[in-house]
Amino acid sequence: MQPRRQFLGWLAAGAAASTIVACSNAEAKTYPVRFSDAEWKKRLSAKQYYILRQKGTEYPGTSPLLHEKRKGVFVCAADGNVLYSSTTKYDSKTGWPSFWDVLPGAIGTSIDFETGYPRTEVHCAKCGGHLGHVFNDGPKPTGKRYCMNGDALLFRPT
């Protein structure tokens, strides 16, 4: 097989796998906080709905939470689930709020292939809302970069 055909075959397989993986992980699970699609649309802003319920992404550098430096916690905008402590927030220079650790039991993960290669999606453990992705290029001590959409989060100062 020619290299181009092999590559196109790989892309097609990845696209098929993304559908299977996405449906079998975050979307197939039953979460403690559940609403109909119509109710989510009422409860969330248009941006929040796009990100949390449709797995969208905000433009980099647009979230006010990117520059949030006060002490407190970051919670899921859909259900208030406490996700990240301000003590783990750092400037990853990516344009999205980033954290090097998550609070215990706050999130779930699944693999998506929406960009053509596998990434680890992060979703809220209570409502299943899409928050962002986690990468293995963060700072010590975890080496993780939880790259989150600011519109999927709310900040609660302490």
Q: Does a cis peptide bond (omega within 30 degrees of 0) precede residue 139?
A: no
The Cβ-side half-sphere exposure at 14, using a 13 Å CA radius, reads: 15
Q: List the strands of the sheet with 72-76, edge to edge.
A: 82-85, 72-76, 153-157
Residue positions annotated with a catalytic role: 147
| DSSP H helix total and E strand total for the chain | 3, 9
3-state secondary structure of 7: helix
Distance CA 101, CA 80 (A): 18
